[in-house]
Structures are given as structure tokens and as C-alpha cells.
């Protein structure tokens, strides 16, 4: 008997900043697994939530093809509720607390940057509820709110390591056509990502004898970048590197355009994962490069559907005309594979049983093979993607142009920044 929980695509705002999916009763379900999804539904990071609730409905639908989810001999429905992180650490902590304390979820899932993943991990540890997170660099996730290393029993995380990203980015810059003068302008904000990136990239660039032009840790949401642009231009910066939200990149490029500042190459992380964000910026975003943390270039197949990254993307874009996939499509797909496998192996939704099963995870996903280590994290590949606007389709395309991972399938070559 197929027992699944389905959701319509209508998402509505509920009280206490809760986003809920309108759940239909499942005839014959013998148990219910309650999942609390913490995502940036509003605020500067909301682009990360655009693949929801489609991916949730799609993944639950895959269970029907496997005969439903059986946990401890019982056919279980999946009930998913959304909680808005408001794109802030405080908001994500409040969201996770509501999911755990008030709504009594069995597991928390959270995606995209430390602002969304770290406080839910803390709350899961506090209340001893399993938590699966992704799309935050490993080192940033491992850093607790006090700045010290995180020690977690209930939190499980998968994404790239900053060390791999640093090596990838160094090699990318070395491959710039014609080279560059060694002067790099830093755009690292005063947030968890910015602090981690500065601590790792600044010394790495210095070891290459490259000169960093550092305006300091700027506040996220800065509206006027004219002073920073002027400093970069005066110093002769030919590469701009940073980790920015969509509004921050848009504001910087606007200021750069006004000042006629045109470096040879942009290497910007975070915002560059999302086509909608680049399309909203428009022509100045063309040729900007950044970390490719999931795309058709990635190896692997889902264990709950046997499809690969390219097939998943094709399915999403075919059923959502005019929309673009984002890396969260594949990473959240993988997170569900991890959850479903752990539930089946645990035979229970009891926290300790589920944690034990998560620790023993070894599963193929569209993000690669996931197996958590003794610190409860798994490392996924990373490459470099570069954006272009396709002249025929008028759609934004992220080309896979570089990676140190041998299984990463390149689809293009590095280009200098044109910003037409």
C-alpha cells in the first residue's frame, strides 16, 4: 500500500512567522513523521527558498515509487512545515525553537548560510532533536555562537570545506586568461561567512604573493559602495573577491558602473549560486564567477528515484516554466535522501534511534556520496561557475568552468569580465 503525504503548491503565511503547507489527510497512514524546514522565506537570502515547496512535494512523491516510507513496519506519512528564518541568525533560532518546542517536530532541516543553519543546529542540540543542514561551508557550521568549535551530537551537515574552496579559487585565479597583476579587492562582510572567508583567503592570497586591498569588514546591507570602489580603482585592483548577498552585489556593481571601474575578473560567492539573483542584476552580472556548489557538473544519483543532477534540473524547469533551478534544489534533494534512509534504518522517529542511523549514513545522492564522519559532517565537491546570458534563449546560464575535483564535468572555459 502506498502511503505518502502530498502538498499543493500554495504556501501561505501563518501566525508566528510560520509558513505551512496545506496538508491533506492520508488514508491508511499508520504514523506521521513531522519535519520542520527552516528557510529564509523573507529577507536578503530569500532567493534560496524559491525551489520550495516544489522539491518537498517532488521528494515525497518519489516515495510512492518505492512503495511508500516504512518506519518500523509502519507506513508513514510525511508532514512538512516551513518556518521563516527571516535571513537572520536570530530569526532562524526562533523558527527552530517554535518547530521543536511548540510543534513537536521529529526532525529539523535547514539550508543556506550560517544565518540559517547554525542556530537551528544549536536549538536541536539544546532540545535533543535531530537536525540535517546543508549549504553552509563546513568550517562556518563548525563554529559555535561563541566563536569556539562546535561539538554537536544531534546536528548533521554536508557541504564543501573552505579548504577545498580556497584551493579551487586559487587555481581558478591562476587560470585567468592572460593572468592578472596580483591585486585583489576584498568584499568580506561582517557576518559569519565574511569572517571565515577573510580568515582563510587573506593568508592564502598572501602566500601567493598577491596583494590584498582590504576595506575592512563592511556591514551587510551597505547601500553605498562608492568609497570602496574608489579605493579599488585607485589601487589598480584587477580581481574582486568576496562573499555577498544579492542586494550587496547589486549595489557594488551599480557603484562600479558609475565609477567606470571594470576589473579583469570577479570571484564572488553566495549570490552567484542563484540565476534569479543574477538575472535581477542584469547585464553587469555577466561573466561574474563564483563557487559552483551544485549543478549538472556534479556526479551522483538519488537513492530515491535513481535520477542524476541533470534529470532533476530538467524536471524542475519543465514543471516550473520560466523559473531557474538553484543549488538548493540538489542539496535539499540529497537531504531528503539522507532523512528517508535514516528513518528506514532507524525503524523509529525516536531521537536517539534516528541519530544513531544518521551517524551510520552511507548513501548516494545527486550531491555525491554522503557519509558522515565522527564530527557529523560530510564533504561535497566544489567547482567554479561563471555566468553568461544566452543570446538565443535569453536565459542565464551557469557554465562549469573549473574544478580540482576529477569527477566535475566542465561545460565551458574561463572568461575575462565584460559586464556588457
Sign of the torsion formed by the C-alpha atoms of 272, 274, 275 and 278: negative
Residue 341, classed as helix, strand or coil, is helix
DSSP assignment of 71-111, as one string? Answer: ETTEEEEEEEEEEE-TTSHHHHHHHHHIIIIIS--SEEEEE
State which H helix or E strand residue 197 sits in: helix 192-207
Distance (Å, whole) CA 171 – CA 297: 18
What is the gyration radius of the CA atoms in the chain, in angstroms?
Answer: 21
Instruction: Let me know if 19 is exposed, middle or buried by CB neighbors in 10 A (0-12, 13-18, 19+).
Output: buried
Residue 143, classed as helix, strand or coil, is strand
* Residues of each domain in the chain carrying CATH 3.40.50.2300: 11-161+297-379, 163-295+383-402
Peptide bond into 53 cis (omega under 30): yes
Distance (Å, whole) CA 249 – CA 265: 14
Rounded (5°) CA angle 157-296-368: 35
Which has the closest alpha carbon to 338: 384, 380, 296?
A: 380
Characterize the bridge pairing of strands 368-370 and 363-365: antiparallel
Distance (Å, whole) CA 267 – CA 179: 14
Question: Is residue 377 a contact partner of residue 264, using CB atoms and an 8 Å limit?
Answer: no
Terminal C-alpha separation, the chain? 57
Which has the closest alpha carbon to 93: 147, 144, 52, 53?
A: 144
**CATH fold of 163-295+383-402:** Rossmann fold (3.40.50)
pLDDT in 10s for each residue of the chain, 420 residues: 222 333 333 332 332 233 333 333 344 568 899 999 999 999 988 888 989 999 999 999 888 777 779 999 998 989 999 999 999 999 999 999 999 999 999 999 999 988 999 999 999 999 999 999 999 989 889 987 777 788 899 999 999 998 899 999 999 999 999 999 999 999 999 987 888 889 889 999 999 999 999 999 998 889 999 999 999 999 999 999 999 988 999 999 999 999 999 999 999 998 898 898 899 999 999 999 999 999 998 989 999 988 999 999 999 999 999 899 999 999 999 999 999 999 999 999 999 999 999 999 999 999 999 999 999 999 999 999 999 998 888 899 999 999 888 788 888 899 999 976
The CATH class of 11-161+297-379 is alpha beta
Long-range contacts of 400-403 (CB under 8 A, 24+ apart): 400/292, 400/295, 400/296, 400/297, 401/172, 401/289, 402/168, 402/171, 402/172, 402/175, 403/168, 403/292, 403/297
Amino acid at each position: 500500500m502506498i502511503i505518502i503525504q502530498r502538498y499543493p503548491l500554495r504556501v501561505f503565511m501563518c501566525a508566528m512567522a510560520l509558513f505551512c503547507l496545506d496538508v491533506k489527510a492520508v488514508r491508511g497512514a499508520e504514523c506521521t513523521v513531522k519535519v520542520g524546514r527552516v528557510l529564509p522565506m523573507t529577507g536578503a537570502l530569500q532567493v534560496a527558498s524559491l525551489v520550495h515547496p516544489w522539491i518537498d512535494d517532488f521528494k515525497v512523491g518519489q516515495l510512492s515509487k518505492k512503495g511508500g516510507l516504512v518506519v518500523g513496519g509502519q507506513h508513514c506519512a510525511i508532514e512538512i512545515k516551513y518556518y521563516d528564518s527571516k535571513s537572520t541568525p536570530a530569526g532562524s533560532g526562533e523558527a527552530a525553537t517554535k518547530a521543536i518546542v511548540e510543534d513537536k517536530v521529529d526532525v529539523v532541516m535547514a539550508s543556506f548560510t550560517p544565518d540559517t543553519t547554525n542556530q537551528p543546529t544549536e536549538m536541536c542540540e539544546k532540545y535533543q532533536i535531530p537536525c540535517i543542514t546543508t549549504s553552509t561551508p563546513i568550517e562556518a557550521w563548525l563554529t559555535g555562537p561563541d566563536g569556539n568549535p562546535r561539538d554537536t551530537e544531534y546536528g548533521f551537515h554536508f557541504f564543501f570545506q573552505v579548504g577545498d574552496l580556497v584551493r579551487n579559487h586559487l587555481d581558478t585565479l591562476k587560470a585567468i586568461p592572460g593572468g592578472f597583476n596580483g591585486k585583489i579587492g576584498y568584499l568580506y562582510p561582517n557576518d559569519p561567512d565574511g569572517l571565515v572567508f577573510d580568515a582563510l583567503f587573506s593568508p592564502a592570497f598572501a602566500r601567493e604573493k598577491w596583494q590584498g586591498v582590504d576595506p575592512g569588514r563592511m556591514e551587510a546591507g551597505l547601500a553605498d559602495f562608492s568609497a570602496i570602489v574608489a579605493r579599488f580603482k585607485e589601487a589598480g585592483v584587477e580581481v574582486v573577491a568576496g562573499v555577498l548577498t544579492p542586494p550587496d552585489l547589486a549595489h557594488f556593481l551599480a557603484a562600479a558602473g558609475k565609477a567606470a571601474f571594470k576589473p579583469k575578473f570577479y570571484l564572488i560567492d553566495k549570490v552567484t549560486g542563484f540565476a534569479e539573483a543574477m538575472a535581477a542584476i542584469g547585464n553587469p552580472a555577466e561573466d561574474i564567477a563564483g563557487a559552483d556548489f551544485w549543478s549538472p557538473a556534479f556526479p551522483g544519483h538519488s537513492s530515491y528515484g535513481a535520477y542524476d543532477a541533470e534529470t532533476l534540473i530538467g524536471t524542475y524547469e519543465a514543471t516550473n516554466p520560466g523559473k531557474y533551478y538553484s543549488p538548493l534544489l540538489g542539496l535539499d534533494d540529497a537531504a531528503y535522501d539522507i532523512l528517508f534512509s535514516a528513518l528506514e534504518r532507524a525503524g523509529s522517529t525516536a531521537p536517539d534511534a534516528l541519530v544513531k542511523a544518521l551517524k551510520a549514513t552511507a548513501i548516494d545522492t545527486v550531491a555525491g556520496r554522503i557519509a558522515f564522519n565522527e564530527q557529523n559532517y560530510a564533504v561535497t565537491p566544489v567547482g567554479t561557475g561563471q555566468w553568461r546570458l544566452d543570446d538565443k534563449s535569453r536565459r542565464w546560464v551557469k557554465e562549469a568552468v573549473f574544478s580540482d575535483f576529477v569527477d566535475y564535468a566542465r561545460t565551458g572555459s574561463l572568461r575575462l569580465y565584460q559586464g556588457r
